[in-house]
A and B are shown apart, each in its own frame.
Chain A
Amino acid sequence: MAEYVWLIVLIPLIGFLINGIGGLSSEAYRKQKTLIGTIATISVFIPFLIALQIFFGMGADSEPYVARLFTWIEAGSFSSEVAYRVDQLSIIMALVVTGVGALIHLYSMGYMKDDEGYWKFFAYLNLFIFAMLNLVLGNNLILLFLGWEGVGVCSYLLIGYWYGDMAKSDAAKKAFVFNRVGDFAFLVAMFLVFRAVGSLDFDIILNNLSAFTPEITFWVAVLMFIGATGKSAQIPLFVWLPDAMAGPTPVSALIHAATMVTSGIYLISRFSSMYVLTPEAMLIVAIIGGLTAIVAATIAITQYDIKKVLAYSTVSQLGFMFLALGSGGFIAAMFHVVTHAFFKACLFLGSGSVIHAMHHVEHELEHEGKDVHFDPQDMRYMGGLKKYMPSTYWTFLLSTFAIAGIPVFSGFFSKDEILAFVFNAGMGEYSYIYFALWGMAVLTAFLTAYYMFRLTLTTFHGTFKLPSKVKGAEDSEKYLHESPSTMTIPLWILGGLAVIGGFMGVPDFFVTTFTSSDIKINWLHAWLDGVTSDSALVLSYGTKWILVAIAILIAVFATVLAYRNYDNDKGEASDAALEKRFGSLYQVWSDKYKIDEIYDASIIQPTFKLSDRVLAVFDMKIVDGFVNAVGGTVRFFGSLLRFVQTGVVQTYALVFIIGVILVLSLIIF
């Protein structure tokens, strides 16, 4: 079955072409929304089935299978193929991408049904799936890069989907450019790799790691990581992701939570055997991951935009994953990728459902003839939605439990494993730093639970605050309603997965402690063990259990605290109290550490001013001026010389005589 892997990649592309060309060329086709949506969804769902089939045909010890299609780029000693790789890592990613992707397609059919550019949206989505599959299935760095850039483009197109709004297209551009900064590093990393081993094929690289000097290994690792920071929104390149929420919510769910942003984690996991050779680079990854996690979490606490909170949460969770990677817990990171994909996608879709409802309210009010405008994403206008949107509420709540790390929900297992690995890394080199990172991670876990419940409680509990806050929106709750089933079905599926997803990676010691046997219940670990190079956990059972206990305590404590502060419409008061307590620190959080402003002042404006005021002027005045000056000088001499021509014959004769003297002198002497 693995030999049909290319079909997985191809079908979404076909879907894209059908919808894209059809929609572009035919007005009638654009109106066939059901058809369009179905085609798009099916062209993701079929690959999912194929992937599933392949997955079931594989074992944890299966050899990687590579389907080579054709030579892509070839010049001199460089050659790369379009070849897709099926191994334990890539099939997991492919399953997530197509599975979650298919659900979100389904969801979008409901969510986007009133949109004019329906066909375009689905075309883009399919293209995104195509690119993402290239990323995860490609057998060499350059094909991975094709996907890498491809998802960037789709992200660009989808963030700026409502291009009529300049801010949205700004966000799109910002996303793309920040991604490109990362890509720059990625490219250089590729060059370094190629120079060292002469190929970009995964197999060849990973089998020839000895060809790297430690220095090169370090740099390749760091550069790849920088690439990953761009795509996976880590410090210092994370600022695009919150802005990326300008796109339609399914997009946020699919691209900016479940799939694209995790490609950095995939990349580093793919090269885990290289990373373990360079502890310094690992440390850098861990530090950046840890910092990102806590920074984003603190910002998330202060946000009111429902999607922004989720966005910062995503950044924070991604930081968590990188922390895992940097600590040697590659499988843990992948585990979190998967669980995060479930619950974060569910959260986003849930928020989309809420926004959909709020939009509906706004729309209906407008229909009533009232000129009411409010931000449908601002949670301060919400509240009490649980009785109007039960499905949304329940799935949202389940996912919140998952992300908060409440035991038996999926996030609990994955997060716990990460914490364990970070602590474990503290046992080796750079122990203090890793311990500090562990501390930060625990704090982040606390904050995560806190802000997620803040979000959930403010949105769904208490009373619907819109009527009281916005004039003219009285009685607007009558317009609130649950989303259609195309939207709720995916919510339930994802919510279910968020609940049970964690069982694929239940730590072995949960059982072994008690049975003293060597039983392996951690399926994921077993599955991925062959492709990644996890560091060994050297912790004792006791330590492990203590860590689990700490995690549970933290999560429960944060949950309780959040309930106290935010249930029953106390949200704003609590936030004010929080602001008072933390003072300027809170201000820094709510200002998002002013990172955007810093970028603007330190890089963007200077570059722009340099270009506008210096280079452009330099170009016109100096470079071109020099050229003009040469011409001008010649003309100037010409106009000087012409005045020798006085018109008086005797002057001419005089010049003649000078010429005579000249010629005589030249010839005689």
Chain B
Amino acid sequence: METLLNITIYLPLLALVAFMFVKNDNAIRWIALIVTSLTFAVSLPLIFNFDSANSHIAQYVTESGPLLFGLDVNYIVGLDGLSLLLFMLTTFLGPIVVLSAWTSVKKHVGAFFAMLMLLQTGSLGVFASLDLILFYIFFELTLIPMYFLIGIWGGADRIAATIKFFIYTLVGSLIMLVALVYVGFDAGNAVNDGVFITDWRVLSGPEYQIGLVEQTWLFLAFSLAFFIKVPLFPFHTWLPYAHTEAPTAGSVVLAAVMLKMGTYGLIRFCLPMFPNAMVEFAPYVALLAVIGIIYGALVAMVQKDVKKLVAYSSVSHLGFVVLGLFALNTIGVQGAIIQMINHGLSTGALFLIVGMIYDRRHTRQISDFGGLAGVIPVFAVFFMIATFSSIGLPGLNGFVGEFLILMGAFTSETLDNIWFAIFGTTGVILAAVYMLWMFQRVMFGPIKHEENKNIKDLNAREIGLLVPVMIFIVWIGIRPTHFTQFSEHQVNVLLEEAAQKKNEILMSTNPAELPSWANKLYKVEINLAELKGDNNE
């Protein structure tokens, strides 16, 4: 199985090699499709054999010797409850994305699919890495193909968009790199006989504890990178540009996979390593998340470009995910995890759909459409399901995630304030407003433009690529436990361990040695008194 995991990660690169020798565009398309399908097929045993009762232990682990002498960076990949679903989502979307670009990409076909394959490997690597440095490498690796995807095959304003995307993300991740290296050395000294270590399994374990002051800085550095990637308000401005300008396939991967790297990083790295900071900053982050939910929705409402609207809706939806994560209870975190998948499916589907209509009309302005429902009924149905999924209709996937997240936030002891959830819930109303309004303007009403009268409905390829997504949208909506079961145990363990670690760190802190801001931020004395009180009882 270990081999299978590695094969899954690197299989797309095989296509890359093939592209070097194949010049025929159609052959390239088929190779890409076959390889991504194969990747998906190969990855299936991973989920079927996954032991969800032990989801907190990484499975299918491959561990190599040091890759970088002196720093002992190891190649460690494996899957656990946190990563499994996202990993599978990535492999699942592979063939779909390839199909979506089947005819719409006409220039430099080989390069396009090569970039997609590279992106696939990078994304899979991100989710499978259990070593922080390795994670970082894959994290960055995904930037390059996306840069080219947007830059070469993107829209009119693609250059500014892609550069902004690249640099913005890079700034965050580089700062994270510094923090990451610091953690590596620190952990090396603390738990690994002075040898640099970035093995997640060690760092997240209970032995390795970071002092409060360091935690603050490290948390900020890590979370900055992830916040930008998520993107959390006010770090979101690259997203509308990148999404709008990216080709359909790029938008889909960006929304479905790459944004998740941020939220995934928050839960995987920040929580177990910086539990105290996570808890103390949770209300502030939740505040930003809630602002993001409402703000993203309001701005989405007035967008004139369909894709931009969906992009801003992503800001809003990802706000939910962050809110759930920082609720720091099982309900919220589980909701956030499933919502990551949901957003990937529903927003991915929306981008696919917008791409299909763009292929037909070469415009994305809402005002250029209207009345399409009568012309292209099959399209309308898919669009409608995706829209409903996106606005969180019960019975479809979006609801499960949003409900759990809001429920988690509402009952969260960490946030200890029901208003986060209440304001977050208003996002549900707003989502209905902007999505339905957009849907209405695009699909309903009289046909205003002559060009719209002769649009062809979806062909078999397009239906074929949407149907699997729709199946999962409904499946998750009806039987979410089939999916949440994979992470349930790990989330519980993670939260428990984090809480315990947090208390241990607090207990070992001497308030007198801390700078005053840290005392204030962590309310050390009050918390310590409470802890000691608990112990005496």
Contact between A and B in the complex (any CB pair below 8 Å)? yes
A: residues with CB less than 8 A from B are 24, 70-78, 142, 145-146, 148-150, 153, 156, 160, 163-166, 169-170, 172-173, 176-177, 180-181, 183-184, 187-188, 190-192, 194-195, 607-608, 610-612, 615-616, 619-620, 623-624, 626-627, 631
Q: At the interface, is chain A mostly helix, strand, loop or mixed?
A: helix
Q: Which residues of B contact A156 (CB under 8 A)?
A: 436
Q: At the interface, is chain B mostly helix, strand, loop or mixed?
A: helix
Asked, given contacts A24-B377, A164-B374, whether A75 binds B445 with beta carbons under 8 Å apart, the answer is no
Q: 20 other contacts beyond A72-B479, A149-B394, with CB at 8 A cut-off? A: A24-B381, A71-B481, A72-B480, A73-B481, A76-B492, A78-B331, A149-B399, A156-B436, A163-B440, A164-B446, A165-B446, A169-B440, A170-B440, A181-B429, A190-B407, A611-B301, A619-B295, A624-B237, A627-B168, A631-B167
B403 to A142, Cβ gap below 8 A? Answer: yes
Say how far A190's CB is from chain B's closest CB, in angstroms.
8
Least CB separation from B236: chain A residue: A623
Q: Which residues of A contact B330 (CB under 8 A)?
A: 75-77
Interface residue B433 (Cβ < 8 Å from any Cβ of A): yes
Say how far B233's CB is from chain A's closest CB, in angstroms.
8
Asked, given contacts A153-B393, A165-B446, A623-B234, whether A191 binds B411 with beta carbons under 8 Å apart, the answer is yes
Q: Which residues of B contact A71 (CB under 8 A)?
A: 481
A611 to B428, Cβ gap below 8 A? Answer: no
A75 to B302, Cβ gap below 8 A? Answer: no
Say how far A337's CB is from chain B's closest CB, in angstroms.
23
Q: Which residues of B contact A616 (CB under 8 A)?
A: 299, 302-303
Asked, given contacts A191-B411, A616-B299, whether A627 binds B237 with beta carbons under 8 Å apart, the answer is yes
A123 to B420 alpha-carbon distance, docked (Å): 39
Among A70, A77, A164, A172, which residue has its beta carbon within 8 angstroms of that of B479?
A70
CB-defined interface of B492-535 with A at 8 Å, one 1/0 digit per residue? Answer: 10000000000000000000000000000000000000000000
Among A72, A76, A183, A190, which residue has its beta carbon within 8 angstroms of that of B428?
A183
B437 to A173, Cβ gap below 8 A? Answer: yes
Say how far B535's CB is from chain A's closest CB, in angstroms.
25
A153 to B428 alpha-carbon distance, docked (Å): 14
B480 to A166, Cβ gap below 8 A? Answer: no
B433 to A177, Cβ gap below 8 A? Answer: yes
Interface residue B395 (Cβ < 8 Å from any Cβ of A): yes
Least CB separation from A630: chain B residue: B171
Among A75, A184, A631, which residue has its beta carbon within 8 angstroms of that of B488?
A75
A74 to B489 alpha-carbon distance, docked (Å): 12
A194 to B488 alpha-carbon distance, docked (Å): 20
Q: Which residues of A contact B71 (CB under 8 A)?
A: none
Q: Which residues of B contact A74 (CB under 8 A)?
A: 480-481, 484, 488
B237 to A619, Cβ gap below 8 A? Answer: yes
Among B167, B433, B445, which residue has its beta carbon within 8 angstroms of that of A166?
B445
Q: Which residues of B contact A612 (CB under 8 A)?
A: 302
Interface residue B349 (Cβ < 8 Å from any Cβ of A): no
A187 to B440, Cβ gap below 8 A? Answer: no
Q: Which residues of A contact B237 (CB under 8 A)?
A: 619-620, 623-624, 627
Say how far A636's CB is from chain B's closest CB, in angstroms.
16
CB-defined interface of B197-239 with A at 8 Å, one 1/0 digit per residue? Answer: 0000000000000000000000000000000000001101110
Interface residue B422 (Cβ < 8 Å from any Cβ of A): yes
Least CB separation from A610: chain B residue: B298
Q: Which residues of B contact A615 (CB under 8 A)?
A: 295, 298-299, 302
Candidate in A75, A183, A627 with the most chain B CB atoms within 10 angstroms: A75
A615 to B234 alpha-carbon distance, docked (Å): 12
Among A195, A611, A619, A623, which residue has its beta carbon within 8 angstroms of that of B410?
A195
Asked, given contacts A78-B404, A623-B234, whether A163 binds B444 with beta carbons under 8 Å apart, the answer is yes
Interface residue B283 (Cβ < 8 Å from any Cβ of A): no
Say how far A284's CB is from chain B's closest CB, in angstroms.
19
Mark out the residues of chain B between 432 and 462 whose CB falls within 8 Å of any chain A CB in the assembled complex. Answer: 432-433, 436-437, 440, 443-446
Q: Which residues of B contact A192 (CB under 8 A)?
A: 410, 418
Say how far B471's CB is from chain A's closest CB, in angstroms.
13
A164 to B444, Cβ gap below 8 A? Answer: yes
Interface residue B162 (Cβ < 8 Å from any Cβ of A): no
Q: Which residues of A contact B388 (CB under 8 A)?
A: 153
Least CB separation from A20: chain B residue: B381
A334 to B259 alpha-carbon distance, docked (Å): 49
A644 to B492 alpha-carbon distance, docked (Å): 60
Q: Which residues of A contact B329 (CB under 8 A)?
A: 76
A-B contact pairs, 10 of them (CB 8 A): A75-B484, A76-B488, A142-B403, A183-B428, A183-B429, A184-B428, A192-B410, A608-B302, A611-B301, A620-B237
Interface residue B47 (Cβ < 8 Å from any Cβ of A): no
A190 to B403 alpha-carbon distance, docked (Å): 10
A415 to B295 alpha-carbon distance, docked (Å): 47
Candidate in A24, A76, A145, A181 with the most chain B CB atoms within 10 angstroms: A76
Least CB separation from B374: chain A residue: A164
Mark out the residues of chain B between 396 and 438 whose CB falls within 8 Å of any chain A CB in the assembled complex. Answer: 399-400, 403-404, 406-408, 410-411, 418, 421-422, 425-426, 428-429, 432-433, 436-437
Q: Which residues of A contact B437 (CB under 8 A)?
A: 173
Q: Which residues of A contact B248 (CB under 8 A)?
A: none
Among A75, A169, A184, A195, which residue has its beta carbon within 8 angstroms of that of B444?
A169
A180 to B446, Cβ gap below 8 A? Answer: no
A165 to B371 alpha-carbon distance, docked (Å): 9
A173 to B408 alpha-carbon distance, docked (Å): 30
A608 to B378 alpha-carbon distance, docked (Å): 32
Q: Which residues of B contact A173 (CB under 8 A)?
A: 436-437, 440
Among A75, A164, A170, A188, which residue has its beta carbon within 8 angstroms of that of B335?
A75
Q: Which residues of A contact B233 (CB under 8 A)?
A: 623
Interface residue B164 (Cβ < 8 Å from any Cβ of A): yes
Least CB separation from A120: chain B residue: B377
Say how far B370's CB is from chain A's closest CB, in angstroms.
8
A160 to B330 alpha-carbon distance, docked (Å): 40
A612 to B299 alpha-carbon distance, docked (Å): 7
A616 to B296 alpha-carbon distance, docked (Å): 10
A191 to B164, Cβ gap below 8 A? Answer: no
A72 to B418 alpha-carbon distance, docked (Å): 25
A184 to B425, Cβ gap below 8 A? Answer: yes
CB-based closest 3 A-B pairs: A76-B330, A75-B334, A624-B237
B331 to A160, Cβ gap below 8 A? Answer: no
A611 to B302, Cβ gap below 8 A? Answer: yes
Least CB separation from B298: chain A residue: A611
Say how far B420's CB is from chain A's closest CB, in angstroms.
11
Asked, given contacts A153-B388, A184-B425, whether A169 binds B411 with beta carbons under 8 Å apart, the answer is no
A166 to B446, Cβ gap below 8 A? Answer: yes
A24 to B446 alpha-carbon distance, docked (Å): 21
Interface residue B373 (Cβ < 8 Å from any Cβ of A): yes
Say how far A226's CB is from chain B's closest CB, in angstroms.
12
Least CB separation from B295: chain A residue: A615
B445 to A169, Cβ gap below 8 A? Answer: yes
Q: Which residues of B contact A608 (CB under 8 A)?
A: 301-302
A518 to B484 alpha-carbon distance, docked (Å): 57
Say how far B304's CB is from chain A's closest CB, in angstroms.
10
A170 to B440 alpha-carbon distance, docked (Å): 8
B407 to A165, Cβ gap below 8 A? Answer: no
A156 to B335 alpha-carbon distance, docked (Å): 27
B298 to A166, Cβ gap below 8 A? Answer: no
B440 to A146, Cβ gap below 8 A? Answer: no
Say how far A607's CB is from chain B's closest CB, in angstroms.
7
Say how far A289's CB is from chain B's closest CB, in angstroms.
24
A145 to B394, Cβ gap below 8 A? Answer: yes
Q: Which residues of B contact A142 (CB under 8 A)?
A: 394, 403
A191 to B410, Cβ gap below 8 A? Answer: yes
Say how far B74's CB is from chain A's closest CB, in angstroms.
33
Say how far A28's CB is from chain B's closest CB, in angstroms.
15
Q: Which residues of A contact B303 (CB under 8 A)?
A: 616
Asked, given contacts A166-B444, A180-B428, A188-B422, whether A78 binds B407 with beta carbons under 8 Å apart, the answer is yes
A76 to B237 alpha-carbon distance, docked (Å): 35
Say how far B469's CB is from chain A's closest CB, in angstroms.
16
A146 to B167, Cβ gap below 8 A? Answer: no
A153 to B432 alpha-carbon distance, docked (Å): 11
Among B299, B371, B432, B440, which residue has its beta carbon within 8 angstroms of that of A180?
B432
